[in-house]
Amino acid sequence: MSVELPLLSVEGLSKTYATGRSVIDQALGRPAPRLTALDGISLEVSANEVVGIVGESGSGKTTIARCLVRLDSPDAGTIRFLGEEIGAAHGADLRRIRREMQMIYQDPYGSLNPRMSVGRAISEPAIVHGLIDRAEADGLVRDLLDRVGLSPTVAELRPRALSGGQRQRVAIARALALRPRLIIADEAVSALDVSIQAQILNLFAELIGKLGLSMILISHQLSVISHLSDRVAVMYLGRIVETGPTAEVFSNPRHPYTQALLTAHPAVDAPRARAPALSGEIPSNYAIPAGCRFHTRCAHAVSACREIDPPAAAISSGHRSWCHVLPEFRPARPL
Amino acid sequence: MKLPRNADPNIPESAWRQLDGRIATERRWSAVTLWSGIFIVAAIAIASFGVGLLGLGDANATDLFNTLTPPSWRHPFGTDDLGRDIFLRVLYAGQVDLVFGFVTTYLSLVLGLVVGALSGYFGGWIDSLVMRIVDLVISFPFIVLILAITAITGPGLTGAYIGVLAVSWALYARLSRGEMLAMRNRPFILAAETMGFGTGRIVFVHAIPNLLRSNLVFSMSDMVLNILTLASLSYLGLGVSPPMAEWGEMVAQGQKNLFNAWWMSTLPGLAIVLTGIGFCLIGDGLADRLDEGRR
Amino acid sequence: MTHVADAHSSLLDVKDLTVGFADARGIFLPTNRVNFTVQRNQTLGVLGESGCGKSVTLRSLMQLVPYPGEIIGGTIAWKGRDLRGRSAREMSSIRGSEISMIFQDPASCLNPAFTVGNQIIETLRVKAGLAASAARSRAAELLDHVGIASAKERLTLYPHQLSGGMRQRVMIAMAIATKPDLLLADEPTTALDVTIQDQILTLLANLKGETGMSMVVVSHDVGVIAQNCDVIVVMYAGHVLESGPAQAVVHAPRHPYTRALLDAVPKLGRGGRRRPLASIPGQPPSLATLPAGCPFQPRCPHRRDGCEEVTPRLDKALPDHGSACPMVN
Classify residue B23: in a domain, yes or no.
Answer: no
Q: B74 or A183: which carries more pLDDT confidence?
A: A183
Domain boundaries, chain A: 230-269+279-335
Residue whose C-alpha is closest to residue B213's, from B168, B182, B189: B182
ipTM: 0.89
* Residue C33 near residue C74 (C-beta atoms within 8 A): yes
Q: Which of B15, B23, B292 faces C72 most closely, judged by CB atoms? A: B15
Q: B169-189: per-residue pLDDT in tens?
A: 999 999 999 999 999 999 999
> What 3-state DSSP class applies to B118?
helix
Whether C199 and chain A come into contact, CB under 8 Å, resolves to: yes
Q: Is B5 close to C291, i.e. CB distance below 8 A?
A: yes
B70: domain CATH number?
1.10.3720.10
Q: Is A282 close to C193, i.e. CB distance below 8 A?
A: yes
Residue whose C-alpha is closest to residue B266's, from B39, B37, B70: B70
**% of residues, chain B, pLDDT over 90:** 38
Q: Report the mean per-residue pLDDT for chain A.
A: 90
How far apart are the C-alpha atoms of B127 and B119, rounded to whole Å?
Answer: 5
Please give the average per-residue pLDDT across B192-201, as a whole number: 92
pLDDT value at position A330? 53
Please give the average per-residue pLDDT across C45-49, as a whole number: 95
Q: C265-305: per-residue pLDDT in tens?
A: 998 877 677 888 998 998 889 888 899 999 999 999 999 99
Q: Is B195 close to A111, i.e. CB distance below 8 A?
A: no
Mutate to test the interface with C, among B1, B2, B3, B6 (most CBs of C within 10 A): B6
pLDDT value at position B1? 66
Give chain B's largest Cα–Cα span.
80
**% of residues, chain A, pLDDT over 70:** 97
pLDDT value at position A176? 95
Q: Which of B10, B27, B292 faces C73 most closely, judged by CB atoms? A: B10
Q: Is B195 close to A98, i.e. CB distance below 8 A?
A: yes
Chains contacting B (3 or more CB pairs within 8 Å): A, C
* Residue A299 near residue A293 (C-beta atoms within 8 A): no
pLDDT value at position A329? 59
How far apart are the C-alpha atoms of C182 and C40, rounded to whole Å?
Answer: 8
Q: Is A278 close to C199, i.e. CB distance below 8 A?
A: yes
- Interfacial C residues in 244-263 facing A (CB < 8 Å): 250-251, 260-262
Domain made up of C12-98+178-323: CATH architecture: 3-Layer(aba) Sandwich (3.40)
Residue B146 has pLDDT above 90, yes or no: no
pLDDT value at position A139? 93
Q: C232-244: per-residue pLDDT in tens?
A: 999 999 999 999 9
Tally A–C CB contacts below 8 A. Answer: 158
Q: Is B187 close to A110, i.e. CB distance below 8 A?
A: yes
Residue C205 has pLDDT above 60, yes or no: yes
pLDDT value at position B132? 95
How far apart are the C-alpha atoms of B217 and B280, rounded to whole Å?
Answer: 10
Q: Which residues of B touch A102 (CB under 8 A)?
A: 194-195
Whether C166 and chain A come into contact, CB under 8 Å, resolves to: yes
pLDDT value at position B258? 86
Residue B13 one-letter amino acid: E
Q: Is A56 close to C193, i.e. CB distance below 8 A?
A: yes
* Residue B246 near residue B93 (C-beta atoms within 8 A): yes
Residue B292 banded pLDDT, cuts 50, 70, 90: low
Q: Is B194 close to A171, i.e. CB distance below 8 A?
A: no
Q: Is residue A233 within a helix (H) or strand (E), and if so which, with residue range?
A: strand A231-236
Q: Calculate how close chain C gets to B31, using CA atoms only, in Å.
A: 13
Domain boundaries, chain C: 12-98+178-323, 99-177
Question: Strand order in A313-316's β-sheet?
Answer: A101-104, A182-186, A214-219, A50-54, A231-236, A239-245, A319-321, A313-316
Q: Which residues of A touch C194 (CB under 8 A)?
A: 56, 220-222, 261, 264-266
Mutate to test the interface with C, among A208, A222, A227 (most CBs of C within 10 A): A227
Residue whose C-alpha is closest to residue A53's, from A202, A310, A198, A230: A230
Q: Calculate how close chain A gets to B4, using CA atoms only, in Å.
A: 22
Q: B102-123: per-residue pLDDT in tens?
A: 999 999 999 999 999 999 999 9
Residue C175 banded pLDDT, cuts 50, 70, 90: very high
- Half-sphere exposure at residue C144, Cβ-oriented, CA atoms within 13 angstroms: 10
Residue C13 has pLDDT above 90, yes or no: yes
Q: B29 or C76: which carries more pLDDT confidence?
A: C76
Q: A66-119: per-residue pLDDT in tens?
A: 999 999 889 999 999 998 898 888 888 898 899 999 999 999 989 999 999 999
- Half-sphere exposure at residue B261, Cβ-oriented, CA atoms within 13 angstroms: 25
Residue A269 has pLDDT above 90, yes or no: no
Minimum Cα–Cα distance from B186: chain A residue: A110
Please give the average per-residue pLDDT across A195-219, as a whole number: 95
Whether C25 and chain A come into contact, CB under 8 Å, resolves to: no
Q: Check whether the bond before B243 is cis (ω within 30° of 0).
A: yes
Q: Which of A69, A99, A114 faces B210 most closely, judged by CB atoms? A: A114
pLDDT value at position A3? 61
Q: Which residues of A touch C266 (CB under 8 A)?
A: 198, 201, 223-224, 226-227
pLDDT value at position C4? 44
pLDDT value at position C222? 93
Q: Is C267 close to A223, i.e. CB distance below 8 A?
A: yes
Q: Which residues of C touch B16 (CB under 8 A)?
A: 20, 27, 72
Minimum Cα–Cα distance from C311: chain B residue: B6
Chains contacting C (3 or more CB pairs within 8 Å): A, B
pLDDT value at position B72? 85
Question: Can you spell out the DSSP letters for C51-95?
Answer: TSSHHHHHHHHTT-PPTT-EEEEEEEEETTEESTT--HHHHHHHB
- Interfacial B residues in 198-227 facing A (CB < 8 Å): 201, 206, 209-210
State the sign of the Cα–Cα–Cα–Cα dihedral C282, C283, C285, C288.
negative
SS percent in chain C: helix, strand, coil, step 5: 35, 20, 45
pLDDT value at position C107? 79
Task: Using CA atoms of B187, B188, B189, B192 in order, give the dihedral in degrees to the nearest 10.
Answer: 120
Residue B95 has pLDDT above 70, yes or no: yes
Classify residue B19: in a domain, yes or no.
Answer: no
pLDDT value at position B81? 83
Q: Which residues of A touch C274 (CB under 8 A)?
A: 205
* Residue B77 near residue B247 (C-beta atoms within 8 A): no
pLDDT value at position A120? 95
Please give the average per-residue pLDDT across B64-77, as a whole number: 84
* Residue A106 near residue A66 (C-beta atoms within 8 A): no
Residue C109 one-letter amino acid: C
Q: B239-284: per-residue pLDDT in tens?
A: 787 778 888 888 888 888 888 888 888 998 899 999 989 998 998 8
A153 CB burial (10 A radius; 0-12, 13-18, 19+): exposed
Q: Which of A198, A221, A270 faces C264 most closely, judged by CB atoms? A: A198
Minimum Cα–Cα distance from A188: chain B residue: B187
Q: Calculate how close chain B gets to C297, using CA atoms only, in Å.
A: 13
pLDDT value at position C1? 39
Residue whose C-alpha is closest to residue A114's, from C288, B208, C81: B208
Whether A95 and chain B come into contact, CB under 8 Å, resolves to: yes
pLDDT value at position A102? 95
Mutate to test the interface with B, among C16, C21, C29, C325 (most CBs of B within 10 A): C29
Residue C6 has pLDDT above 80, yes or no: no
Alpha helices in A117-180 (DSSP H): 118-128, 137-147, 164-176
Q: Is C266 close to A201, i.e. CB distance below 8 A?
A: yes
How far apart are the C-alpha atoms of A229 and B279, rounded to whole Å?
Answer: 58
* Residue B259 near residue B11 (C-beta atoms within 8 A): no
How far apart are the C-alpha atoms of C174 and C7, rounded to whole Å?
Answer: 33
Domain total of chain B: 1
Q: Please enumerate in sequence order all residues whose Cβ is within 8 A of that of B29, keeping only pairs 6 or more positions apart, or say none.
A: none
How far apart are the C-alpha atoms of A255 and A328, rounded to whole Å?
Answer: 10
Tally B–C CB contacts below 8 A. Answer: 63
Chains contacting A (3 or more CB pairs within 8 Å): B, C
**% of residues, chain B, pLDDT over 70:** 98
Minimum Cα–Cα distance from B187: chain A residue: A111
Q: Calculate how close chain C gets to A247, using CA atoms only, in Å.
A: 6
Beta bridge partners of C232: C45, C244
Please give the average per-residue pLDDT across B147-152, as a whole number: 84
- Interfacial C residues in 207-236 facing A (CB < 8 Å): 220-224, 226-228
Q: Angle formed by the axes of helices C132-145 and C164-176, to 10°?
A: 130
Q: B236 or A2: which carries more pLDDT confidence?
A: B236
Q: A314-330: per-residue pLDDT in tens?
A: 888 889 999 998 777 55
Q: Give strand ranges (E) for A68-189.
A: 76-81, 84-85, 101-104, 182-186
